[in-house]
Structure 1
Amino acid sequence: MFTFHLVMWRVWEDLDDGATTAEAALIPFPLTKATMDFTVMSYNILAQDLLELHQDLYTHCPLEVLDWNYRFSLLVGEIQKWTPDIVCLQEVQENHYHEQLHPFLSEMGYTCVYKRRTGTKTDGCATCYRSSCFSQVVVTELEFFRPETELLDRHNVGIVLLLRPVVAQGSEVKGKAPPLCVANTHLLFNPKRGDVKLAQLAIMLAEISSVVKSCKAKGEHCNVVLCGDFNSVPHMLLYQLITTGELYYQGLPAWMLYNTNKMTSCYFTSTLNAD
């Protein structure tokens, strides 16, 4: 019997190093134009407990690269190189977060929110932002497990933050920039339960909508950044729902909402309107 594993190779694109130096990471946004540039990094960092529980998924990987300390050093180097304004991580093992990740990120000037999965698994999601660039307005920690609902029987979680950009001119904080909603989640992997994935995504999108509406009620426009491991790829139905707001699922079997390839990591630059 032969077992085949599909290996998905990423194509990396370097951004301008001059815009992401460690020195610039400590400077609040300057009040010099009607827009603000900020960077976001998102990774599923693979919890060691899950790796060891499902070793059959990683037989194509050299053992030395699966070691957590080796992978942690690479993650640290990636964050230090790019110094993103916002970091969203999934599959963050609880003890690794408290003992290593949080101390490291705090020293770099980040404020972090961590939400462990409900149930027995030891991993969760972490969302961190540079304190010199954002202040926290509201934080919502989502639990997708709802024992009274058949479709919501899995222990995935999400985090939704409402942040306020820190607009500075010189050494003084001035002006009032529009808020930013940052959402981070890890949807269910199970290829047979696309219906569960869809229900979890619906909860996340509903919370984002609630945050945006609350800002609108105050006369403020709210920009949104959604990060996570969605266990999907572009042009699949879950991706279609996120990007278009529409999904026609009547009569579709659950498996058609899933694809075995994964959309898990991104690094990009966004522009936040400040007028």
Structure 2
Amino acid sequence: MVVDAKAQGFSLERYLKEKKAIVETALDQSIVTAEPVTVYEAMRYSLLAGGKRLRPILCLAACNMLGGTTEMAMNTACALEMIHTMSLIHDDLPSMDNDDLRRGKPTNHKVYGEDIAILAGDGLLSYAFEYVARTQGVPADRLLQVVIRLGQAVGAEGLVGGQVVDLQSEGKTDVSIETLNFIHTHKTGALLEVCVTSGAILAGAENAKIQKLQKYAQNIGLTFQIIDDILDITATQEELGKTAGKDLDAQKVTYPSLWGLEKSRSEAQRLTDEAIASLEDYGASAAPLKALAEYIINRKN
């Protein structure tokens, strides 16, 4: 399935450019350097290092689709990027994936040392929750729901749990597709899911709509990881902005290693089609989320 953006009068390229610009401005304003300067500089170094800003944009798109404003979702959108950045800083550490390059730049611990990198990640994570709570013009019960879901997404039942199983599976040859799905629905998918659902919650969506959007988000989350695995073996370091072939070097089980490239691409397309189909009830207002699903499966880095 392909979204005909022109037929809908929607340009994803223009949309991403506009949204990314306002997200970048908001992120720059979200953390001001203070004492101790080193940790603030380390936090800003990784937070402002670029990237697609897909997670905050998904939050804004979901909120807008359900009648909310960009302003009511922006603090949460920034918080999501703070949490994502924390996960990248920690993921790159020598005790984890041990990478020297991220978004085309030296990883945080290569610039500031492992100790400051860990603390910078901790600082971003804790500040993310404070930043959501500081949102103006949104009922407190909605903010509480968002905070709870963020905690679930990043904790042992989400990102942390997925990372643990990922580390424990390295070098093993008997990792099942069920285990691989567990790793990535928790390590990657949980945060992408809360990006979409938090936007809906902030807009005041009822539970039925939130649950439908959960299915969309779960599908694009798995698609994101399948494409990540494919790119790790097909793209260059320059294209990725990080070290290519890391999964193979770490003896990680990936979707291509279990299914092959052709089936992996086919499964990614199936998940994308289902994600797009789940938004049919929203008409033209769903154009950004539909196009973002296509963007995820067609990305090159």
Say which one has the larger Rg. 1
Q: Which has the higher helix share?
A: 2
Shorter chain as normaliser: what TM range? 0.3 to 0.5
Give the TM-score normalised by the residue count of structure 2: 0.35
Question: Higher strand proportion, which one?
Answer: 1
TM-score normalised to the size of structure 1? 0.38
